[in-house]
Every structure is written in C-alpha cells, then in structure tokens.
Structure 1
C-alpha cells in the first residue's frame, strides 16, 4: 500500500474503527467447537460458498470476515473505515460479510432479511450501504421497519414483488440464522467481530491497527 493511501485512510472521517471498544467483544470462557488447537477458527465455518463478499482476492491469501448487525451502532461506526479499506485493497483481500443480528435490537433480524432479499437480486452491496448509511433513521425503533426497507429496495430499482416475497420467505430467515449459528460456533458473542485469516482480531483499536494487521498478513 502506498504512503498516500495510508495517509488517506489515516485522515478519513472514520479514522477510529473502534468507539468504546468497537472490536473488543466478550470472549467465551471455553473454546468453541470450531476453534482449533492453534487458536484459529475452522475456515469452513467462517466462510461458506454462499457467503457475501464485498471484494475477492484471486490468490486467496488474505481473508477478512466481519460478523455484523445492521442495527449495531458500533458496526455503523466501523462501516466508513471498512468501506475505505475494501476500496484501497480492492482485489488484494477477500472481505466477507456474515449476519449476526442481536436479539435485543428490534429490527436487526428484519434488516438482515432485507439484505438477503436484495442479495437474491444481486444487490447485497447496495442494500448493505443503504442500511448503514441510513441507520439512524430506522434503528432502535420497536415498530417493524418493513416499509423503510421496502423504500430502500424501491430506490435501488429492485423487483419489488420478488423483494417482498423473499423478505417474507422462511428460507431467507433460515439463511440469516445459518450465519448466526456459524458465528456462535466461531465464538462470536458481539458485533462487530472480525476474523483475519481465521483468527479473531481482539487487539486492534483503530483503522490504522486494522490496516497494519492486513499488511502483515499480505506480507507473510
């Protein structure tokens, strides 16, 4: 990565990837079933064939996985930095998004289903952006935000009949639940939780820390 790119990342508005311990999550006292003796998590649990990728590295050398909740304020705080990192590294890293809606967030599961319904039309990245960039307008509302999410789909020019059908389809809820099950197997207890090459990142505090970890993985 060039010095200018590093500088751009460093001075960006979303410089701080962590707010009040953004990447620090409660860890299980006992290893999860997916955790290997080396401390790495089974890659097959972290990345499935149908997992959503915002970038893909042809060499497969570096994979960054985020388990997220679209209603999580810390995930939204991390979003600008992640967006910049994905753009800066482009095809040098594979960035994978996994759903992990938190039960206490009233519209988190519905938002994940909206993202999956969009994914069924090849528009996951667009809905991912809509949900985070507009989070303050729909989050932490006890009423279902279905109409809001339908509005995002409409703005994106999606097939609305199909989107509505997929949003309500039990298969969509099952797809979201599968991600959450994988997250629990990997030891995820909060969001956002990041894994770099199958190892959970627990010591990074800023965007620069995450960039440094990626650079080390690329150089290794």
Structure 2
C-alpha cells in the first residue's frame, strides 16, 4: 500500500469521526428535557382527623402526630393546651395517632382513645391518658384494664366501649393514621405540622413561632 492510499484512509477515518461527533452534538442540542413531575405533598389534616379545636375553614391548622406513651408528647401536652387557649378562634388543632412500636402500651392507649372518640369523648380520654402517663407509661404489661377504668370514670357506655375495643376496625383506624404519618415523613413523636408544613422542633417555642409565622 503506497503512502497516498494510507493518507486517504486516515483522512476518511478522521472525517467519519468528525461527522459522528457533529451528529451527536446536534442531537444533544436539540433534545429538550422531559417534564419533571412536581412533588406532591399530602395534607397532614385528613377528612377523618380528630379535631380538638375548630377555628373555621380558613384557619391555620396544627396537626400533631402523637404517641400517648411518649414522654416528649406528655411534656408538650400542656404546651398545646396553652396554645389552644391563646389561639382560640384563630387556629384549628387536630391530633393523629402514631403509636411507636417500641412503646408497649402505645397502641392500647390509641385504641382506647379511638373507642372513646366513637362516643364523642375523644378529648376526655386524650386528656386523661396524658395526665396519668406517669402511672402507666413504660409498663411492660398491658394496661388496657386501666384504660377501661378511665373509660368508665369519664362516663362512657362500657358495652359500647368494649365492643369498640374488640372491633378490628378500631385498630385499623389507628393504623391508618400511622401509615399516613409514615408517608408524610413522620418518624418520631411528637411531630407537628402547621398548615401542612412539618415543624423542626428544637425547643418548646418552635411550635408557637411556626403558628405566628402563618398568622402573620
């Protein structure tokens, strides 16, 4: 093979490489990125969420995912009660169940509250459990009999209470809140959402600061 042929072959290879590169660049320049799905955030307040205090349709909403055996939730209980009094008529407060698996009686407590809610007495049982948390929290045996005693003390129909406790739908209602909490990114308690935004809690003041930011 003479030198002229070799040069021709080399030049042809170079031309092919250049053409291919040009085509690749041209295609890349004309490609547009496909549509990116916007992130969706489910509301923290669902249609069946239990409302402690309703301030109307356009009010700021505070939703707490809680565990009745959680000491931090117990510590926040009087804080929330104080905020409810301070923002009555301005802020809607709701609770959702999030019983942590590491707490022996957290699910029993949530089921007891749900059974009370079916008789319109959610808040009475909710308050009783937090007020007595030191009596039953961290127990390593079922405290369901004690919760039944609380139900009797607040005046529930005990036949209906017992039926609700035994009904799988009552536990399923608790699980539904828990599952929705997980989907919202809840992993610990208490977790607060103010107008569907999870609040970063570093101090007791953070919840009120988040409320004030939405009101203003």
Fold shared, TM-score > 0.5 on shorter chain = yes
What is the aligned-residue RMSD (CA, Å)?
A: 1.3
> Using CA pairs below 8 Å that are at least 6 residues apart, which structure has the higher relative contact order?
1
**How do 1:1-220 residues align onto structure 2 when only pairs under 5 Å count?**
37=39, 41-43=41-43, 46-207=44-205, 209-219=206-216
Q: Is the 8 A contact 1:60 1:94 kept in 2?
A: no
DSSP 3-state at the match of 2:55: coil
What TM-score do you get using the length of structure 2 for normalisation? Answer: 0.79
Q: Is the 8 A contact 1:41 1:199 kept in 2?
A: no
Q: Is the 8 A contact 2:67 2:99 kept in 1?
A: yes
Q: Is the 8 A contact 1:55 1:95 kept in 2?
A: yes
Deviations 1:51-76 (A, max 9, x none): 10111121423111100000000000
Alpha-carbon distance between aligned partners in 1 of 2:41 and 2:108, rounded to the nearest angstrom: 28
Deviations 1:15-37 (A, max 9, x none): xxxxxxxxxxxxxxxxxxxxx74
Unaligned runs of 5+ in 2: 1-37
Aligned residues: 179
Q: Is the 8 A contact 1:57 1:94 kept in 2?
A: yes
Unaligned runs of 5+ in 1: 1-35
Report the structure, 1 or 2, having the larger helix content.
Answer: 2
Q: Is the 8 A contact 2:45 2:196 kept in 1?
A: no
Q: 2:30: which partner in 1?
A: none
Alpha-carbon distance between aligned partners in 1 of 2:201 and 2:108, rounded to the nearest angstrom: 31
Q: Is the 8 A contact 1:62 1:196 kept in 2?
A: yes
Q: CA deviation at 1:203?
A: 4.6
DSSP 3-state at the match of 1:90: coil
Alpha-carbon distance between aligned partners in 1 of 2:186 and 2:70, rounded to the nearest angstrom: 14
What TM-score do you get using the length of structure 1 for normalisation? Answer: 0.78
Q: CA deviation at 1:212?
A: 2.4
Q: Which runs of 4+ in 1 moved over 4 A?
A: none
Deviations 1:111-149 (A, max 9, x none): 000000000000001100000000010111111111110
Q: Is the 8 A contact 2:68 2:110 kept in 1?
A: yes
Alpha-carbon distance between aligned partners in 2 of 1:210 and 1:177, rounded to the nearest angstrom: 26
DSSP 3-state at the match of 1:149: helix
